Chains A and B, each alone.
Chain A
Amino acid sequence: MEALRAGSGGHFDLPAGTVYPALRRLERAGLITGTWDQTGGRERRVYELTAAGRRMLDAERGSWRQFAAAVTALLEPAPRPAAL
């Protein structure tokens, strides 16, 4: 959550606790798997992407780039080619 806040320049400043329900939803969807981990003394739930999660991330990243590029192209039109 801190990485999300810092990485987005403070735009996505969600309550830290909301990450836990989100993780469980992703796990139920089969996109990540969580296991309890004891290393470092305190029990922590550690998550990693499943193969399906990785595919989904790649697909979503691709479609976001397409969408963002399309919106950018509409909002900031390139100068019309002079030949026309």
Chain B
Amino acid sequence: MTGSQHIESYLSEAAAALPGPARARDDLIAELRSGLLDATDAYHAAGHSPDEAAAAATAEFGDPRQIAAAFGPELAARQARRTALALITTGPLIGLLWAAAATASHIAIHRDSLSDHITAPRSPARRSTT
């Protein structure tokens, strides 16, 4: 494997094990990539061939699936935020808002009928005085 193949296969292994939204995943993978490239540069500067340097860097970083698993809580939090957002626009909260709106308009209707009741007895009374 060439140096960049070492790094890309490491990253695709990590990406495959990362759950969550693609944008969050891409950000984490980009950060891993820049770290791996820096480590590769350091090994290269220390006298290793580019391929050896990349192999050493990926070895130093550890098992990509293990790193991906450690990112789990981070991605779960992002996923939870997305789910919360989805629920706000489509879920129970909007249902509650509808219920609140319905209750508010019911109260308004109820008030109207109350005022009907209040004014209603007056008309016959007025009629009776004539």
Q: Do A and B come from one complex?
A: yes
Taking Cβ atoms with an 8 Å cutoff, the residues of A that contact B are 14-22, 24-25, 28, 42-45
Quick check: B67 and A18 within 8 Å, CB to CB? yes
B34 touching A25 by the CB < 8 A rule?
Answer: no
Which residues of B are in contact with A by a Cβ distance under 8 Å? 28, 30-32, 34-35, 37-39, 60-64, 66-67, 70-71, 73-74, 77
| B62, A17: Cβ atoms closer than 8 Å | yes
A20 touches B77 (CB 8 A): no
When distances are taken between beta carbons in the complex, the residues of chain B under 8 Å from A22 are 70
Chain A residues positioned under 8 Å from B35 (CB to CB): 16-17, 19-20
Q: Check A24–B62 contact: CB distance below 8 A.
A: no
- Interface of B: prevailing SS: helix
Cα distance A71–B82 when bound, in Å? Answer: 46
Of B28, B37, B38, B60, which is within 8 A of A24 by CB? B28
Do A25 and B38 touch (CB < 8 A)?
no
A15-B71 contact in complex given A20-B35, A44-B34, C-beta closer than 8 Å: no
Instruction: Determine whether the beta carbon of B31 is less than 8 Å from that of A16.
Output: no
CA distance A17 to B60 in the complex (A): 8
